[in-house]
A and B are shown apart, each in its own frame.
Chain A
Amino acid sequence: MVLDLWFIFRVLVFPGFTFLLSLTMFCDWVERKIEARMQNRVGPKFTGPAGILQPFADFLKLLTKEDIVPRGAKSTVFKLAPIVAFSIVVFALSFLPIDGAAVISNSSFAGDLIVIMALLTIANFLLFLSGWASANPYGTIGAARVLTQFLGYDIPLFLLALAPAFLAGSLSIAAIAASQYLPFVLLAPWAFVLFIVALQAELEKDPFDIPHAESEVVGGLETEYCGRKLAFLHLTRDVQIVFGAALVVELFLGGPYGPVFFGFPAFWYSLWFVLKLLAVIIISEYLTCLFARLRIDQVLSANWKMLLPLSVLSLALTIALVTWVYPLVV
Chain B
Amino acid sequence: MGGSLQIQPAHLGKASIQVKAESNRDALKLLVEADKNAGIIALTGVDLGAQIGLLYHIRTNGAVITLKSEVPKESPRIPTITDIIPGALFHEREAADLFGVVFEGHPNPARIVLPEDWSENLYPLRKDAKIDNATVKCESSKSKPEPVPPQSDGSLVNIIIGPQHPALLEPEKFSVKVNGEIVKQVEPRIGYVHRGVEKAAEQRTYLQDVYLVERICGICNSCHATCFVEAVEKILGTQVPPRAKYIRTIILELNRLHSHLLLLGHAGLEIGYETLFQYMWRDREPIMDVTELLTGNRVISSAIAVGGVRRDIRESDVPKIKAVLADLKKKMALYRQLYTNERTLKMRTQNVGTLSKEDAVKLCVVGPVARGSGVNIDVRKEEPYEAYGEIPFKLITYNTGDSWARFMVRIDEIDESISIIDYALDHLPAGPFRVRAPRVVAAGEAVNRVEAPRGELFYYVKSNGTAYPERVKVRTPTYANLPAFLKTAEGGNIADVPANFVSLDPCFSCTDR
**Which A residues lie at the B interface, using CB under 8 A?**
38-41, 137, 206-207, 209-210, 213-216, 218, 289-298
Q: Are B348 and A292 in contact (CB under 8 A)?
A: yes
Q: Are A295 and B282 in contact (CB under 8 A)?
A: no
Q: Given A292-B342, A294-B344, A295-B348, A216 and B494 touching (CB < 8 A)?
A: yes
Residues 275-320 (chain B) with a chain A CB within 8 angstroms: 275-276, 278-279, 282
Please pick, from A38, A216, A218, A294, the residue contacting B347 in the complex, using a CB distance under 8 A. A294
Q: Are A39 and B496 in contact (CB under 8 A)?
A: no
Q: Are B347 and A295 in contact (CB under 8 A)?
A: yes
Asked if B345 is an interface residue, CB under 8 A from chain A, the answer is: yes
Q: Are B495 and A295 in contact (CB under 8 A)?
A: yes
Can you report 7 A-B residue pairs in the complex whose CB atoms are below 8 A from each other? A137-B159, A206-B274, A214-B166, A216-B497, A292-B268, A296-B495, A298-B347
Residues of A within 8 A of B166 (CB): 214-215, 218
Please pick, from B181, B275, B345, B498, the residue contacting A39 in the complex, using a CB distance under 8 A. B275
Q: Are B276 and A292 in contact (CB under 8 A)?
A: yes
Please pick, from A210, A213, A214, A295, the residue contacting B493 in the complex, using a CB distance under 8 A. A295
Closest chain B residue to A296 by CB distance?
A: B495
Q: Are A41 and B348 in contact (CB under 8 A)?
A: no
Q: Shortest Cβ distance from B392 into chain A, in angstroms? A: 35
Residues of A within 8 A of B159 (CB): 137
Please pick, from A39, A214, A289, A293, the residue contacting B348 in the complex, using a CB distance under 8 A. A293
Closest chain B residue to A206 by CB distance?
A: B272
CA distance A215 to B271 in the complex (A): 8
Please pick, from B271, B275, B494, B496, the residue contacting A290 in the complex, using a CB distance under 8 A. B275
Q: Are A215 and B498 in contact (CB under 8 A)?
A: yes
Q: Are B278 and A294 in contact (CB under 8 A)?
A: no
Residues of A within 8 A of B165 (CB): 218
Q: Are B181 and A297 in contact (CB under 8 A)?
A: yes
Please pick, from B167, B272, B496, B497, the residue contacting A207 in the complex, using a CB distance under 8 A. B272
Please pick, from A40, A137, A218, A295, the residue contacting B496 in the complex, using a CB distance under 8 A. A295
CA distance A240 to B275 in the complex (A): 23
Q: Are B274 and A39 in contact (CB under 8 A)?
A: yes
Instruction: Give the A-B contact count at a CB cut-off of 8 A.
Output: 69
CA distance A210 to B167 in the complex (A): 14
Supply 18 further A-B pairs (C-beta < 8 A) apart from A215-B270, A215-B271, A295-B493.
A39-B278, A39-B279, A207-B272, A210-B495, A214-B167, A215-B166, A216-B497, A289-B274, A291-B273, A292-B272, A292-B347, A293-B272, A293-B344, A294-B344, A294-B348, A295-B495, A296-B181, A297-B181
Residues of B within 8 A of A297 (CB): 181, 493, 495
Closest chain A residue to B501 by CB distance?
A: A215
CA distance A39 to B268 in the complex (A): 13
Residues of A within 8 A of B167 (CB): 214-216
Q: Are B271 and A292 in contact (CB under 8 A)?
A: yes
Residues of B within 8 A of A296 (CB): 181, 495
Interface of B, secondary structure class, is helix
Residues of B within 8 A of A41 (CB): 278
Q: Given A41-B278, A218-B166, A291 and B344 touching (CB < 8 A)?
A: yes
Q: Shortest Cβ distance from B151 into chain A, in angstroms? A: 9
Q: Are B279 and A216 in contact (CB under 8 A)?
A: no
Asked if B387 is an interface residue, CB under 8 A from chain A, the answer is: no
Residues of A within 8 A of B497 (CB): 216
CA distance A295 to B498 in the complex (A): 12
Q: Shortest Cβ distance from B352 into chain A, in angstroms? A: 9
CA distance A291 to B497 in the complex (A): 19
Q: Shortest Cβ distance from B319 into chain A, in angstroms? A: 25
Residues of B within 8 A of A214 (CB): 166-167
Residues of A within 8 A of B273 (CB): 291-293
CA distance A22 to B344 in the complex (A): 35
Closest chain A residue to B164 by CB distance?
A: A218
Q: Which of A210, A213, A295 has the most CB of B within 10 A?
A: A295
Closest chain B residue to A39 by CB distance?
A: B278
Asked if B437 is an interface residue, CB under 8 A from chain A, the answer is: no
Residues of B within 8 A of A216 (CB): 167, 494-495, 497-498
CA distance A210 to B271 in the complex (A): 10
Residues of B within 8 A of A291 (CB): 273, 342, 344
Q: Are B498 and A207 in contact (CB under 8 A)?
A: no
Asked if B269 is an interface residue, CB under 8 A from chain A, the answer is: yes
CA distance A297 to B180 in the complex (A): 12
CA distance A214 to B165 in the complex (A): 9
Q: Shortest Cβ distance from B397 into chain A, in angstroms? A: 25
Q: Given A215-B166, A216-B167, A38 and B348 touching (CB < 8 A)?
A: no
Q: Given A209-B272, A218-B166, A40 and B278 touching (CB < 8 A)?
A: yes
CA distance A294 to B272 in the complex (A): 8
Contact with A along B329-351 (1 / 0, CB 8 A): 00000000000001011011000
CA distance A136 to B271 in the complex (A): 23
Residues of B within 8 A of A206 (CB): 272, 274
Residues 114-172 (chain B) with a chain A CB within 8 angstroms: 159, 165-167
Q: Given A137-B159, A206-B272, A218-B165, A292 and B344 touching (CB < 8 A)?
A: yes
Q: Shortest Cβ distance from B503 into chain A, in angstroms? A: 13
The 3 A-B pairs with the shortest beta carbon distances in the complex, nearest first, are: A293-B272, A292-B273, A39-B278
Q: Shortest Cβ distance from A174 into chain B, in angstroms? A: 38
Q: Given A207-B344, A215-B269, A289 and B275 touching (CB < 8 A)?
A: yes
CA distance A120 to B494 in the complex (A): 30
Q: Shortest Cβ distance from B374 into chain A, in angstroms? A: 26
Residues of A within 8 A of B342 (CB): 291-292
Closest chain A residue to B158 by CB distance?
A: A137
CA distance A296 to B182 in the complex (A): 13
